Amino acid sequence: MTVHLHEFDGERSLTLNTGGLAVDAAVTAAGHEPNGYFWEGLVRFAWPDIAERLDFDSEAGMFCAVGGSSDLAQLKAAVESVITNPAAVRDIIARAKTAGFEFDE
């Protein structure tokens, strides 16, 4: 799977390499760039309860969240549920737009 959990020097992180995802065309069609910053915004909007307990270190080619094991496991399940589902991503983007949420890309 594209989403990976890591542990290094006692720090836990989750990474998602961007580009080449099944939902990239849907993201682009909605006027966004499917990069790490977009995914960070999507996570912050779609799962704010998890996002507030994490730190982010995303870049253009990779989404990265740092936090506790339980939060990262929840995030992994959430992200995996949408990275292959263009309809789910379009729905989140539409809800974000309606709410006035700005993606930082």
How many domains, the chain? Answer: 1
Structural tokens at position 15: 């990474």
Q: Which residues pair with 17 in a beta bridge?
A: 62
Q: Give the pLDDT confidence score for residue 50 in this predicted structure.
A: 97
- 104 is a domain residue: no
Measured distance CA(53)–CA(72) in Å, rounded: 10
- 105 is a domain residue: no
Beta strands in the chain (DSSP E): 3-8, 11-17, 55-56, 62-66
- 94 is a domain residue: yes
Q: Which residues pair with 55 in a beta bridge?
A: 66
Per-residue pLDDT tens, the chain, 105 aa: give them: 589 999 988 899 999 999 899 999 999 999 999 999 999 999 999 999 999 999 999 999 999 999 999 999 999 999 999 999 999 999 999 999 999 999 987
pTM attached to this predicted model: 0.94
- 83 is a domain residue: yes
Residue 14, C-beta contacts closer than 8 angstroms, at least 6 positions apart? 3, 4, 5, 6, 64, 65, 72, 75, 76, 79
Q: Give the pLDDT confidence score for residue 1 in this predicted structure.
A: 55
- Tell me the CATH number at 41: 3.30.310
Range of the domain at 86: 3-99
pLDDT tens-place string over residues 38-49 = 999 999 999 999
Q: Give the pLDDT confidence score for residue 25 in this predicted structure.
A: 97
Q: Give the pLDDT confidence score for residue 104 in this predicted structure.
A: 82
Measured distance CA(18)–CA(79) in Å, rounded: 12
